[in-house]
C-alpha cells in the first residue's frame, strides 16, 4: 500500500456541509488514502470548517478530546502516556493543538506527540500547522478543510503545512457564505418543496436538487426574498445539531456550525434563473453562487447547460 501511495501528491474534494455527507467523505478518504503505516495525521482548518466530522468519518469510534458539545476529555490522554501501561493502552490519540495550547506549553505538546510516535502509536493532530515547527517531522498524511478538502502526502519537498493552511483559509469564507445562502433559499421555500429537496456542491456555491419534477417556484422572486433577508443582516446562531436560528426563527440544518454569523456577511449572492435538468439522475437543480466572480461562473454554467440541451 505504501508503494502505491508514493506517487500521490495532492487530491481535492468539495467539502460538503452536512454531517452525514462529511462522515461519508471521511470514510471515502480513509479507504483511498489511509495506510496502516500512517502514524502522524495532520488536520488543518479553522473552527466551523467540519474537521471533527471528517475525523469521525475517517476514524469511527475514536474519542475526540474536543467534543462538539463542549465536553473536553480531562486529563488529556496524550499527556498521560506514562500512566497508561499494560495491554489496554490507546492505539490512537487525538489532540486539538489550538485548544490545548491554552493549558499546556506548545513544546510539551510536541514532546508528547513525539513520545507517542516513538511508542508506535497513531496521533491525529488538529491545527497541525501550529505545532509543526516544533515536531521536527512531517505528517504521513496532511488534510486541510476549507471550501474544499485538500489531502496530501508530504515529501521532503512539500507541501508544507502553511501552504495547505493558506489554501483552506482563503476558501473557507466562500463555504460559510454559500451554506448560509443555501439555508436562506430553503427558509423562503414552501414546506412541501423543502421536505423533498437534496443537496450538492459547486465551487463558491450550492446546489439544491429536486427529484422527478421541478418546483413551482419563480427563481427571480426567490432571489429577491433572499436579498431582503441579507439586507436585514439577521443573526445566524447555532441551536442544536439539527437546527440553526435565522433572525430568531428555527430552521432545520444538517451543518449548523458552518455559517457566517449574520446574513449581511453574504456577498454577491445570485441564483441561476432556471432549473438545470440532470437527466441521468432524474432531478432538477437549483444553483446559487456567492463571491465576486459568480456571475461569470453562472453564465458559463448556463452556456454549458444550453449546449447540452
pLDDT digits (tens, 9 = 90+) for 248-291: 999 999 889 899 999 999 999 999 988 988 889 999 999 999 98
134/87 same-domain check: yes
CATH assignment of the domain containing 177: 3.30.980.10
> Whose grid coordinates read 483559509?
169
Phi-psi bin for 179: left (phi > 0), alpha (psi -120 to 50), beta?
A: alpha
200/276 same-domain check: yes
DSSP string, 27-65: HHHHHHH--TT--EEEEE--TTSSHHHHHHHHSTT---S
Exposed, middle or buried: residue 83 (CB in 10 Å: 0-12, 13-18, 19+)? exposed
| Residue 296 or 169, more confident | 169
What's the pTM? 0.86
153/206 same-domain check: no
140/226 same-domain check: no
Which of 159, 193, 212 is at the close of a domain? 159
294/217 same-domain check: yes
Q: How many domains does the chain have?
A: 2
> Whose grid coordinates read 454577491?
268
Residue 288 structural domain: 173-308
Which of 124, 159, 194 is at the close of a domain? 159
Is residue 200 a part of any domain in this protein? yes
Span 61-117, pLDDT tens digits: 888 887 655 556 778 888 887 766 655 567 899 999 998 998 899 999 999 999 999
Exposed, middle or buried: residue 279 (CB in 10 Å: 0-12, 13-18, 19+)? exposed
11/141 same-domain check: yes
Set of cell numbers at residue 264: 449581511
Amino acid at each position: 500500500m505504501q508503494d502505491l501511495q508514493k506517487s500521490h501528491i495532492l487530491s481535492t474534494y468539495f467539502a460538503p456541509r452536512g454531517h452525514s455527507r462529511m462522515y461519508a467523505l471521511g470514510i471515502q478518504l480513509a479507504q483511498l488514502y489511509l495506510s496502516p503505516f500512517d502514524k502522524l495525521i495532520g488536520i488543518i482548518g479553522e473552527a466551523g470548517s467540519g474537521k471533527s466530522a471528517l475525523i469521525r468519518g475517517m476514524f469511527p469510534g475514536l474519542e475526540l478530546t474536543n467534543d462538539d458539545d463542549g465536553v473536553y476529555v480531562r486529563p488529556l490522554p496524550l499527556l498521560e502516556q506514562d500512566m497508561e501501561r499494560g495491554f489496554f493502552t490507546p492505539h490512537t490519540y487525538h489532540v486539538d493543538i489550538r485548544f490545548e495550547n491554552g493549558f499546556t506549553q506548545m513544546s510539551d505538546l510536541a514532546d508528547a506527540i513525539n513520545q507517542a510516535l516513538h511508542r508506535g502509536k497513531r496521533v491525529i493532530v488538529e491545527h497541525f500547522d501550529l505545532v509543526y515547527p516544533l515536531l521536527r517531522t512531517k505528517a504521513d498524511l496532511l488534510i486541510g478543510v476549507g471550501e474544499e478538502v485538500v489531502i496530501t502526502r508530504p515529501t521532503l519537498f512539500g507541501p508544507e503545512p502553511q501552504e495547505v493552511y493558506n489554501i483552506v483559509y482563503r476558501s473557507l469564507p466562500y463555504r460559510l457564505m454559500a451554506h448560509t445562502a443555501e439555508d436562506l433559499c430553503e427558509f423562503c421555500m414552501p414546506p412541501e418543496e423543502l421536505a423533498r429537496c437534496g443537496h450538492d456542491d459547486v465551487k463558491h456555491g450550492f446546489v439544491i436538487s429536486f427529484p422527478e419534477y421541478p418546483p413551482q417556484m419563480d427563481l427571480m422572486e426567490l432571489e429577491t426574498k433572499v436579498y431582503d433577508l441579507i439586507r436585514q443582516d439577521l443573526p445566524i446562531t447555532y441551536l442544536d445539531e439539527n437546527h440553526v436560528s435565522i433572525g430568531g426563527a428555527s430552521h432545520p440544518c444538517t451543518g449548523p456550525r458552518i455559517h457566517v454569523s449574520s446574513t449581511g456577511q453574504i456577498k454577491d449572492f445570485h441564483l441561476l434563473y432556471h432549473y438545470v435538468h440532470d437527466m441521468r439522475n432524474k432531478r432538477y437543480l437549483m444553483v446559487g453562487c456567492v463571491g465576486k466572480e459568480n456571475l461569470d461562473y453562472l453564465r458559463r454554467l448556463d452556456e454549458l447547460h444550453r449546449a447540452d440541451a
